Amino acid sequence: MIELEGVPELVDPVMVAAFEGWNDAGDAASTAVGHLEREWKGEVFAALDAEDYYDFQVNRPQVWLDGGDRKITWPTTRLAVVRVDDAGGKGKQRDLVLVRGIEPSMRWRSFCNEILGFAHELGVEMVVVMGSLLGDTPHTRPVPVTGVTSDPDLARTMNLEESRYEGPTGIVGILQEACTHAGVPAVSLWAAVPHYVSQPPNPKATLALLNRLEDLIGINIPMGELPEDARAWQLGVDQLAAEDSEVAEYVQSLEEARDTAELPEASGEAIAKEFERYLRRRDDGPTSGTATGSAAESGPGTYLRDTSTGRNRAPKPSAKDEDAEQKEQQEQPEQDPKRESSDDSDDD
């Protein structure tokens, strides 16, 4: 039975889910949902009955001490709600229903139906399931995140890939298909984790998933220490790779393959997306009518960004440049009027 006592009426809710286990390489996906719950102080309002879905010999309960009392935490899946008061930086409110748990050991169809029951009662407009997998991707490059859906219309309108996968699947794939059959728009976001450094945590992959989630549902996510953790993680892997020549050569081969394959993707649209994300995250300050950088710091032909309009403008020439231009014009030979007239007649 679904109990929703104490849950406020939600505004444009989106359900975001991730599960530890087979679909969570480097714990990147479950950590992403945990980050959302922590940053927005999510309130847990429901938990699925562990007896129904988990084999406790596979996912064992944890015993811990609360003062002098011994308590047990059972492996399960919990639902929490968070309120985003400034979605997309436009002062618009939007709520998220966060589902975080462990891939169930049994009764997957009942498991998905129970989650969909909560989604229906809460008026969820879309379900986003996050996962991470091992791939042949170098740790030195941006983490590729693929957005997949089984709905052709959703794939077209949200610029996603339509799923064509065949083979073994996990709870992420099963939940997405259950949503599709129930008429609930569903998307899965997959981050590729380097298989040669698969142990958790992987803050770089977690950060990539959250960035893609921002773009997908139009919210601003406070990243906290994740960007710094991602840089520290990459530096640590760099040092480990430098100590092993075979690993270093392998990483280099992955880099070359990745750069060759993704060269066409270095498009203006991709650059514009990164710039828009930067604008959303920059600190508030007096930026009206100012440009980033200065003409003195820019080379010839460099254009500056006017932050008041979002357009590029040419830097104002210095006095030295103006003098040189005047001198060059004075040294040029005068144009022969007769020759000019002749040229004009030829053109006619």
Q: Which residues contact 87 (CB under 8 A, 6 or more apart)?
A: 93, 94, 218, 219, 220
Model confidence, pTM: 0.73
pLDDT digits (tens, 9 = 90+) for 269-308: 555 555 555 555 554 443 333 333 333 333 333 333 343 3
| Token representation of residue 249 | 């050569």
pLDDT digits (tens, 9 = 90+) for 159-190: 899 888 888 999 999 999 999 999 999 999 99
Rounded to whole angstroms, the Cα distance separating 35 from 41 reads 10
Region label for 6, one of left (φ > 0), alpha (ψ between -120 and 50) or beta (otherwise): left
Q: What is the DSSP letter of 142?
A: P
Query: Can you give the pLDDT of all 348 residues of the chain as single tens digits?
Result: 466 667 778 999 999 999 999 999 999 999 999 999 999 999 899 999 999 999 999 999 999 999 889 999 999 999 999 988 766 555 578 899 999 999 999 999 999 999 999 999 999 999 999 999 999 999 999 999 999 998 888 899 898 998 888 889 999 999 999 999 999 999 999 999 999 989 999 999 999 999 999 999 989 999 999 999 999 999 999 998 888 888 888 988 898 888 887 655 555 555 555 555 555 555 444 333 333 333 333 333 333 334 334 444 444 444 444 455 555 555 554 444 444 444 444 444
| Angstrom distances, CA of residue 263 to CA of 39, 119, 159, 250 | 36, 40, 19, 20
Burial class (CB in 10 A: 0-12, 13-18, 19+), 135: middle
Return the SS3 of 126. strand
Nearest CA-CA partner of 257 in 90, 140, 109: 140
Q: What is the pLDDT of residue 301?
A: 34
291 close to 306: Cβ distance less than 8 angstroms: yes
Spell 87-123 as b/e; 16+ CB within 10 A means b. beeeeeebbbbbbbbbbbbeebeebbebbbebbeebe
